[in-house]
Amino acid sequence: MRYHRVILYFEAEILPALMEFDTHVTTVNDNDKPESGAFPNKRQRKKSMVWEHFTVQSVGAGITRAYCKQCKKSFAYISGSKLSGTSHLKRHITMGICQVLRQKNEQSLFCNTDASRDSANRPKKRTRTASGYAGNGSLFDQERCNHDIAKMIILHDYPLHMVEQQGFINFVRTLQPQFNPLSLNSVEANCVSIFHRKKLNMVNLIKGIRAQVNLSLDLWTSNQAMRYVFVRGHFIDGDWNMHHPILKVITAPFSDCDDSLKQGVVTCLSDWHLDGRLFTLAFDKSFSSETMIGNLRSLLSFKSPLILKGQLLNQNCYARVLSRLAVDSLCSLRETIGKVRESVKFVNSSDSHKNKFFELKQQLQVPSMVDLLIDDESKWNTTYHMLAAACELKEVFTCFDAFDPDYKTIITISDWKKVQILCTYLKFLYDAANILTEKLYPTANVFFCEVSKLQEEMAHAAFSDDYFLSSLIMPLYEKFDQYWRESCLILGMAVALDPRHKMKLVEFTFAKIFGENAESWIRIVEDRLRELFIEYNTQMLPFAAIDGDEIFLKTEPYQEESCDNSVFYDDVLSDYEILISDLKSELDEYLEAPLLPMVHEFDVLSWWKLNGFQYPTLSRIASDILSIPVSTLFGDSVFDTKIRKMDRYKSSLSSSTLEALVCTKDWFQYESLPIDVSNALVKLEF
């Protein structure tokens, strides 16, 4: 019946109107070109602004075309029963396709001064066209413009007061004369408003996941006696996607850093509804005191009492540990490295020196193709690359003083040998740090192999018969060995949840590193996994049902219901422990299952997503452990030799505004990252 009513309405109302319009346009004389609004029927009056620049003309039976008043070019408008619309006509005017109109606009802009742009001498039609449309053909939207300016400032760290600078105002008004300048206060309010809207979305995301949340603390300093701690969250959502948003920026004066930091973490947990959901807390010893470490440990135990009683407090940042080792090794050869640096600077100081160096290189037939670049002493990897390149060209440097009398630096054969040994071990550190540059946020399981390999290499060098090698590496080994012993629990648990390795890699590696003491270290990792399994099962106990010889865990909210074959426990932890001691647990089944093939491009999160239904409790443990932040630094900060400094401008902002700008920029950048579509091998086990 609905379709019949539509057809009757079309025949009674729409069709007669179309026939009347068609009859009218076909009777227009060819020499009489009616303009927009010439039709006598008021209902058919054209209101679009394009008709100030176009006329319509009938060119045949049922065919009408639109003509540009400026360039006389014709466009399709009506062809039979088909109406072409006006979008293509708008583009012709607003996007500068009409050359005649564009030339007139350019001449007018060139002739008029800034003071006379909005004067009465300006043609009204051109003004209306230029200001009535934005670049995409729509009407100018001041509110949207204000939002985009705020987003631009957030993304590119522009100062807020740029909106009050005359150069910026002139530029934007050239593009859009209708633009109303913003004040500093208004653009600041817009930035904070964007922050609160996006924060609400992030809060809802975190509230909607079942996983625990890991936190990492990254310290920045400033010249204003203030410390800034970036609190970043790390968690895996229900679709097994990793998230690493900055949740808070804690501003703490040097004089009261410990108390301010603890209070800031407490506030962060409250703001983001993370009480009882904190799994680990990662930070670095470089900015911590014993008092602060104790405070954070007690805080972790209090906020998450069931997670191994706070044992997973991680006070070692992987990237900073490597950087400190690299800096220490470079300092041990400071004078020799200084000679190499001066030599590289000399070669790069002029084209004449470069040409002579290249000519000598050819004469000596040195095959190296590396570039000699001066290092940035704030990035230790650039110093490593400079030294490695210089070592490849050491023969040229050795003879260069005879080839160019201006070259005065003398580097002995013994110096070059020391630099080569240093480069060998800097390369181990460089390769270990590259985990953090190859992928923005790697899962925790990938670190075990690199850390254990570095531990073995440094132990071998530290106890070498070569006196120089041993004296160079021994201090580094002692520091790294401490890091290894403090971190191998977390790293071992993470790699055990990689189905390609499980406990086999832990057993093999610990046997090589700890020797006869390996068994006790292996037992620590396995016992902690079992403790976690019991704790997570305890948390899920109200949803557990025992049927026959198997344990089924219900993931939906518990609802009391009548079931003859199910027994629900409320508070029977001891009985439950006795039960699972008699039955083969998920953990045992997982560890005893065959290892997956060694595939390099393996997506461990996809594997757990597919196999989570078989290991429901263990998969929850995996989601929390694999998202543990082994390092608080990522990307271009990995090779920093110093703690980063907040610039003078940002230090002048209020703490709330600074937090809004920093957090929102991080969230915008995260949204712009491409979706990681993995082609990794995953296997569904049965």
Question: According to the model, what pLDDT value does residue 199 have?
Answer: 95
**Region 104-108 average pLDDT:** 63
The lowest-confidence range among 108-117, 362-371, 516-525, 638-647 is 108-117
> Given this model, what pLDDT does residue 126 score?
39
CB 634 within 8 A of CB 435: no
pLDDT of 331 strictly over 90: yes
Confidence tier at 552 by pLDDT (50, 70, 90): very low
Task: State residue 405 phi and psi, 5-degree precision.
Answer: -65, -15
3-state secondary structure of 229: strand
The least confident of 266-280, 477-491, 553-567 is 553-567
Confidence of residue 258 (pLDDT cuts 50, 70, 90): confident
DSSP tag of 12: I
Q: Which of 30-44, 383-397, 537-551 has the lowest mean pLDDT?
A: 30-44
- pLDDT of residue 274 exceeding 80: yes
Closest-CA residue to 422 (of 380, 478, 483, 361): 380
At 181-230, the pLDDT tens digits run 999 999 999 999 999 999 999 999 999 998 889 999 998 998 888 889 99
Burial degree of 127 (CB within 10 A; 0-12, 13-18, 19+): middle
- How sure is the predictor about 78, in pLDDT bands with cuts at 50, 70 and 90? confident
Please tell me the predicted confidence (pLDDT) of residue 550: 40
Residue 245 scores a pLDDT above 50: yes
pLDDT in tens, 346-369: 999 999 999 999 999 999 999 988
State the pLDDT at residue 33: 41
Size (the chain), residues: 686
Tell whether the model's pLDDT for residue 375 goes beyond 80. Answer: yes
Confidence of residue 31 (pLDDT cuts 50, 70, 90): very low
Query: Which tens digit of pLDDT belongs to each residue from 448-468?
Result: 999 999 999 999 999 999 999
Mean predicted lDDT score pLDDT of the chain: 80
Between the CA of residue 256 and those of 222, 227, 281, 299, what are the distances in Å? 15, 10, 21, 18
Contact present, 496 and 525 (Cβ < 8 Å): yes
Out of 51-60, 213-222, 373-382, 541-550, pick the least confident.
541-550
Q: What is the per-residue pLDDT for 247?
A: 97
623 pLDDT exceeds 90? yes
Lowest mean pLDDT among 243-247, 388-392, 495-499, 539-543: 539-543
Alpha-carbon 108 to chain mean position: 46
Position 70 scores a pLDDT of 85
What's the pLDDT tens digit per position in 276-323? 888 888 888 776 667 777 777 776 666 655 456 556 666 689 999 999
Confidence of residue 139 (pLDDT cuts 50, 70, 90): confident
The residue that leads in pLDDT, 411 or 40, is 411
Using 50, 70 and 90 to split pLDDT, how confident is the model at 575? low
Task: State how far the Cα of 638 lies from the Cα of 640, in Å rounded to an integer.
Answer: 6
pLDDT at 2 over 90: no
Whether pLDDT at 675 is above 60:
no
pLDDT of residue 134 exceeding 80: no
pLDDT of residue 95: 65
Query: Which helix (H) or strand (E) is 346 found in, with range?
Result: helix 334-348
Assess contact for 223 and 608: CB atoms under 8 A: no
Top-ranked range on mean pLDDT: pick from 259-273, 503-517, 634-648: 503-517
Quick check: pTM over 0.75? Answer: no
Q: Is 219 exposed, middle or buried (0-12, 13-18, 19+ CB in 10 A)?
A: buried
* Residues 6+ away with beta carbon under 8 Å from 129: 49, 52, 53, 93, 94, 101
The residue-averaged pLDDT of 554-574 equals 41
- Over residues 584-600, the pLDDT tens digits come to 678 999 999 999 998 87
